[in-house]
Amino acid sequence: MIILLKSNPDPEQLDSLTSWLESKDIQIHTSAGVSKTILGLVGDTTVLDIDLIAALDIVEDVKRIQEPYKNANRKFHPSDTVISVGNTQIGGGNLTIMAGPCSVESEEQLVTIAKAVKASGATMLRGGAFKPRSSPYAFQGLKEEGLRLLTLAKEATGLPVVSEIMEASQLALFDDVDVLQVGARNMQNFDLLKVLGKQDKPVLIKRGLSSTYEEWLMSAEYVMASGNERVILCERGIRTFETYTRNVLDITAAPVLKKLSHLPVIIDPSHASGKWDLVGDSAMAAVAAGADGLLIEVHNNPEKALCDGPQSLKMDTFEELAKKLIALHGFLATLKGEIA
């Protein structure tokens, strides 16, 4: 349920409304807009008399929210959520470019790539230390050593770091990681999501291989309901009948999620396409579709990469693409301003 308050509500009346709601075990999430404030209510709202609340002097409107996701719902929080990480901001009209190798392989590899993507305009370094691989015989990541190398690359470039956490017991190792990635295969690992909800680093949730928007938003809801509102959604392609590409990039994820939710939306064209020569156009389409950013795999030697070489951009290709992405984002912002 949401309660839309009239502007400048009487503080005493607001106090008595919130104390009464809390006495009914309802949690209140306040979203203060420029002129209007919304109270988002979570809990058993069936015990509340909607007409009684609507009749209060300070209340303009009351609505029940049908969707099962509440905290993640745009109706709860009409303005975009903006997440600050280091000096960079994710969401709210900013273009976030997360780039780096699929897997951290060595200090030289990681620092070379980190410096190159930073110089090209990336705002965050993305690299995997713990890798969820389809085959138990495939390279599983450098693990703790990979995280140590990510710290070195962060120190060398000043870029905040995104890396995948596969289970809750690894959390203590992720002290220097700025954004915790939950992989597609773990999107519905509810115990992991609950643990990540109880810590305060932003959580980037990749869409499950065959997950609906609602299931994905419910995963975000798990993190948010546990107390952490800093959630980023990442579309990485879904399973369909098509086999030419690794997955199918669902470009509508950007406009749909921006409509349903206030959370930032990132698109990963690398895992979606699985082919490096499709990454650039898919990334441009993602920006045009309104995504808040991109996650792009980049390698200094894709032919020799230990993981996801075929979809990794070479550093010079990434440099050209980043220029185009930044220009397109700027052009779209101007267009919006001109039309408005």
294: contact with ligand PEP by CB under 6 A: no
Structure tokens at 340: 């408005």
Q: Interface residues for ligand PEP in 70-129 (CB under 6 A)?
A: 102, 128
Structure tokens at 301: 């030697």
Q: Which of 184, 195, 220, 325 binds ligand PEP (CB under 6 A)?
A: 184
178: contact with Mn ion by CB under 5 A: no
Residue 20 one-letter amino acid: W
Stretch that binds ligand PEP, among 58-66, 178-186, 190-198, 210-218 (CB under 6 A): 178-186
List, as one string, the DSSP characters of 219-248: HHHHHHHTT---EEEEE--B--S--SSSSB
Nearer to ligand PEP (CB atom), residue 91 or residue 101? 101
Residue 205 Rama label (left phi>0; alpha psi -120 to 50; beta): beta
102: contact with Mn ion by CB under 5 A: yes
Smallest gap from Cβ 297 to Mn ion, in A, equals 6
Nearer to ligand PEP (CB atom), residue 42 or residue 99? 99
203: contact with ligand PEP by CB under 6 A: no
Q: Interface residues for ligand PEP in 246-275 (CB under 6 A)?
A: 271
Per DSSP, the three-state class of 213 is helix
Q: Contacts with ligand PEP: how many residues (CB under 6 A)?
A: 9
208: contact with ligand PEP by CB under 6 A: no
Residue 99's H or E segment, with its range, is strand 96-100
Which residues partner with 234 through β-bridges? 206, 266
Asked whether 71 and 221 are in contact (CB, 8 A), the reply is: yes
Choose the one of ligand PEP, Mn ion, none that binds residue 132, judging by a C-beta under 5 to 8 angstroms depending on kind. ligand PEP
Choose the one of Mn ion, ligand PEP, none that binds residue 77, judging by a C-beta under 5 to 8 angstroms depending on kind. none
Binding characters for ligand PEP, 38-77, by CB under 6 A (x = yes): ----------------------------------------
* 88-90/83-85 β-pairing: antiparallel
d(C-alpha 103, C-alpha 140), whole Å: 9
User: H helices of the chain, where?
Assistant: 11-23, 50-54, 107-120, 144-157, 190-197, 213-225, 253-260, 269-273, 276-288, 315-339
132: contact with ligand PEP by CB under 6 A: yes
Q: Which of 308, 313, 322, 325 binds Mn ion (CB under 5 A)?
A: 308
Per DSSP, the three-state class of 96 is strand
Q: Interface residues for ligand PEP in 211-240 (CB under 6 A)?
A: 236
Structure tokens at 117: 């993507």
Stretch that binds Mn ion, among 17-25, 147-155, 204-212, 307-315 (CB under 5 A): 307-315
Instruction: Give residue number: closest CB to Mn ion.
Output: 102
Nearer to Mn ion (CB atom), residue 101 or residue 197? 101
- For helices 213-225 and 253-260, the axis angle rounded to 10 degrees is 50
Q: Which of 206, 230, 299, 329 binds ligand PEP (CB under 6 A)?
A: 206
Stretch that binds ligand PEP, among 34-42, 177-185, 275-283, 315-323 (CB under 6 A): 177-185
d(C-alpha 207, C-alpha 169), whole Å: 22
Per DSSP, the three-state class of 180 is strand
Binding characters for Mn ion, 71-90, by CB under 5 A (x = yes): --------------------
Choose the one of ligand PEP, Mn ion, none that binds residue 146, judging by a C-beta under 5 to 8 angstroms depending on kind. none
Q: Which of 65, 60, 131, 67 is nearest to 102 (CA)?
A: 131
- Chain residues binding ligand PEP by CB under 6 A are 102, 128, 132, 183-185, 206, 236, 271
